[in-house]
Structure formats: C-alpha cells, structure tokens
A and B are shown apart, each in its own frame.
Chain A
Amino acid sequence: MTSWLFLAPVLFIHLLVVAVPSLSSLALCFTDWNGFGKINFVGFENFIELFDDRVFKKAVTHNLIWTGLFLTVPIALALLAAFLLTGVRRFQMFYRFVFFFPYILASIVNCLIWKYLFHPIHGLAAFFRDIGWESLATSPLTTKETSLYAVAFVDGWHFWGFLVVIYITAMYQVEESLYEAADIEGASKWQKFRYVTFPSIRPMFLFSFLIIIIWSVPAFDYVYILTSGGPAYSSEVVANFMYFEAFRNMNVGYASAVGALMFVYVFTILGFFWTLRKLGWEI
C-alpha cells in the first residue's frame, strides 16, 4: 500500500500531462471541434480529409525521406568515426568531446549557427561570392529543391555525435581476443570491421535504427526555426503541419487526427520490433 503512495505523485502528474491529453486527442480526432463551441462527432471524416490533403501528403513524404536520410548518413558517419576512434589513443577524449558537443546545444542555437552560414547574403554565400564562385552563393534553406535536405543536414549535424558515443561504447565491449585472432589471420581494417566489430555491436546498431525511426516522426524544432516548412511547403513535415493546424487554425479535430496517426505509426513500429524480439531475433 505504501508503495503506491510513493508512486502516486509521479503517476498523477504524468497522467495529467501526458495520458489524459493523449486520450482526449484520440477521442477528439473523430470530431470537428475548434477549441470552443460545440463538439460534433464526424466519424472518420478528418482522416478522409487528411488523406486528400495535398500538404499533408507532402509532409508525410518528407518525413519518410527524413527518416531515410537519418538512417543512412549519420549512421554511416558515426560507425566510421567510432571505428576510427577505437584505433587511436591520443586525442581520443578530445574527439569524443567535439563530436558530442553539438548534441548538448539547444536546437535554437544550432539553427542560428546554420541560419547564418546558409543565409542568402551573409555567411557561406558571402564567402563564395568573394572568391568568385557565384553559382554556390545561394541559400540552400530558401531554395525549394534543397530546403528539406538543408534542414535535415543541420539536425543531423547536431545528432550524429550521439550515435558515435553509443557505438563506441558498444565497440569497447567487443572481446580483444577476437581482434587478435583477426590480426593473426591477416585481416584488413575493413574485414575486421565487417566480421568482428559490426556483428558484435549489432544489438546497439538495431537500437539506434529503432530510435531514429521513432525520433524522426515528431521532428519539429529544426524545421520550425529554420524554414517553418517553406518555401512553398518544400520542407514541410508532419509535426510542423500539425502545429500550424493546431495553434494557427485551432482545428482541434483535424490536428488531433494528425497526432493520432503519428501515435499509431510509432506504436506500429514499436510493435514490429517487439514482435521480432519475441520471435527470437537478437534485437
């Protein structure tokens, strides 16, 4: 009984802040509520409308591209850096410090660093103009073709060092004798990575896969601060779309439907991984 009394306060605030609003959202997504006024039940109308919404479809596509980008570029870079780090003694702590550093900086600070560098007049554009490379003197953030990638780049720039740290932790748990055996066999660096390091860190690797898929869904800060989804929705993502429906247009029902879809997606992914684990996959 006393054990519950000690649990109660945390459960209370967590229920109040997360569970109750989440459940309300799951109920409100079947209504046309606008924040005040009457609540009408509209069934699946919000979802039908969403699947017909050009901007929403664009945002979903961008989220998928975003996930794909994060599953490849930062992972590859981090694997490379972590593997190289295990091969050096000197300055190892220095590199680790540097790689991890952007991860502790606020999203707004990271965005301001890159907003300056990617500015159409200042930053790198001014630099390229000075040395005569006019073609490079544009802003990737305000160009339709590149805006999404530029935003993802800034977010990835701040994130990949996190992966380095979790990979290197796993790499140091690999038995030294395995490397010694590989050395005796005359294995190359790549062979050692491919046949010793990688299989040993597979659980951590899959874990990073899972968190990237899940964390890509609510990606918001970098998009909102850097481009706000523009120009012309070229960097729109689902979280930003939902935010504007919710707090600009006060479309409670519609925005809740977006939130509900994000929730269903995340838990489908989690369920999928959980099932694989139950089936005896080493995850």
Chain B
Amino acid sequence: MLFSQNKLKGALGNHVILMILALTIILPILILLFNSIKPDEEFGINPLGFPETVRLMNYYDAFMIGNYAKVMMNSLFLVTGTLIVCLSLSSMAAFSLAVLNPNGKATILIGIYLLVGLSIPAQLFILPLFIIWKNLHLNNTFIGLILIYSALNAPFAVFLIRSYMVQLPRELFEAAIVEGASTIQLFTKVALPLSWPVFLTTGLVVSLAVWNEFLFAVTFIHNEDFKPISSILFSFQNMRDENYALISAASIMMAAPLAVLFILFQRNFIAGLTSGGTKG
C-alpha cells in the first residue's frame, strides 16, 4: 500500500514537470493557431488569447495574396522530383553496396566518402555550386534544386536503405540467380519489393527535409514563379510585417501537411530522423 502510494506520488511529480515542459511547446503553437483565425483589428487588444470573433477568411486571404495554390504546387513538385531522383539513385547504390559487393574495399571507401559528405558544412560549397549552376543555367529551375536536394539527401538515404537491404536473406538472391535472373532483375524483382518499409521511412524523411528546406531555396530560386513555400513565407513576412493574421494563416498552411503526415507516421519519422543516432 505504502509502496504503491509512493510510486503514484513519484509519477505525479514526473507528470507535473513533463506537463510544464510540454506546455512550453504547446502554448506557442496554440497562439499561432489563434492568430491565424483572429481578425487583424483584434491583435491590439488581445495579443495572446483565443479570438473573440473567429475569422477563417484569413486563410482565404493568405491563400489568394500569397498565391498559395501555385506555391504549394511548386513545393510538391520539388518534393516529388527529389523523391523520384533521390530514392531511385540511392536504392541502386544501396543495392550495390548491400548485395552486389557487400564486403568490398570499394564499399568501405564509398561509405567513408558519403559520411564525409554528410559532415561538410553547406557554407563550404554553396557559393561555387551557385556559380556552377549559373553557368549550367540551372539556377531558378526546379530541376536544379531537385538535383541539389537529391545529392544532399543521398548519403542518408543510401545508408538507411543499405542497412535494410543487408538484412535480406541471401538465399533469395541466390535462388533468383539459379533461375537465371539478371542483376537488374535482382534489383527490381527481389531487392526493391522486399525493402518497401524502408522506402516509406526514407521517403518521409526526405519529403520533410525538402518541404522545410530554407537555405538552398532562398539562394537558388529568385523567380517568384518557382519559389517554394519556405522562401515565399520568408518574403511574405518581409512584405507584410505587421499583418500577423495573414502571416500566421500562411504558416499554418505550410505546417499542416507535415503535421498530418507526422500524426499518421510518427514511428517512421522518428525512426528515420534519429537513425544516425541509434546506430551511432
């Protein structure tokens, strides 16, 4: 009896501290939500609370002024393009490292190269890259940014997919070889279909990275027609510095798709984003 009471008290203390910590995260996000449905006139008298009159039209206004239909499509296009390029190329590399040549010297060398690549600060290469892209006429194009995002996310994707593919039973590949499968068939008919769970995780993490990416988006896209959501939101807040109703509604529109994905696939997101750590 005494023991269980003690335990209960202990857990209550834990909950109090954890709840305070959680509130430091929930409240600011809640205030953003409130602001997104607050009429602009109300900000002066009600800075943090729930709006007295709910104005959903903020979303419509932000959507129209920011031309969000187009902007969302731009971001979606970048995400889809990067997913296609990055995942297909990375899975080929992962297949090569995991199945074709799992213990070769080249594998170790490539592994080190990609690890080094992951640790290089973007500031070292962003300026020469900008100049190269300018000369290749890849600035201000989707394909230019997709190539950059694919390259930047490739090391992570290769490691994650490889770590899954090395666990596939070798007998499956041997059996397929006996039946006369070519290397390409080993890849498309055996390795890929069996590895789909890792593609979900990798795909989610890559989508998140691309959708949220800021530095390369503001640097490489200056044409308003091609700007993705992160850099539009940045110029949006510079243009209408004081209209927090519209800025908040625009922010929610950027965050909402990811929030939904995160709720649906929390486990995959966390596993993917912390994979460097848990294998560290």
Contacts and interface: CB of A to CB of B under 8 A. Distances in A.
Contacts of B251: 108-109, 112-113
B114 A255 contact: no
A267 B119 contact: yes
Q: How large is the interface on B (under 10, 10 to 19, 20 to 34, 35 or more residues)?
A: 35 or more
The binding surface of chain A is classed by DSSP as: helix
Interface stretch (A8-16, A40-48, A49-57, A65-73): A8-16
A19 B120 CA distance: 9
29 contacts: A3-B100, A7-B96, A9-B93, A10-B89, A10-B92, A19-B117, A21-B124, A21-B129, A35-B131, A84-B18, A87-B11, A88-B15, A90-B15, A94-B22, A98-B25, A99-B21, A107-B212, A114-B28, A122-B43, A122-B244, A124-B48, A126-B43, A189-B10, A207-B280, A221-B214, A256-B128, A259-B123, A259-B127, A270-B119
Residue of B25, B100, B237 contacting most chain A CB atoms (<10 Å): B25
Contacts of A256: 124, 127-128
Interface in A69-96: 77, 80-81, 84-85, 87-91, 94-95
B151 A14 contact: yes
A231 interface: no
Interface in A164-191: 165-166, 169, 189
Given A87-B11, A105-B212, A263-B124, A112 B248 contact: yes
A102 B237 contact: no
A243 interface: yes
A69 B265 CA distance: 32
Interface in B23-48: 24-26, 28-29, 31-32, 35, 43-44, 47-48
Given A18-B120, A21-B125, A104 B262 contact: yes
B53 interface: no
A6 interface: yes
B22 A218 contact: no
Interface string B226-259: 0000100110010000001001100100110011
A106 B254 contact: yes
A260 interface: yes
B256 to A, nearest CB: 10
B172 interface: no
Nearest to A129: B47
Interface in A107-136: 107-109, 112-117, 122-124, 126-127, 130
A98 B22 contact: yes
Contacts of A281: none
Nearest to B127: A246
B185 interface: no
A3 B96 contact: yes
A217 B138 CA distance: 28
Interface stretch (B56-64, B65-73, B194-202, B268-276): B268-276
B215 to A, nearest CB: 6
Contact of B280 (A3, A11, A203, A239): A203
A108 B251 CA distance: 8
A49 to B, nearest CB: 17
A14 B114 contact: yes
B127 A16 contact: no
B236 to A, nearest CB: 9
B154 interface: yes
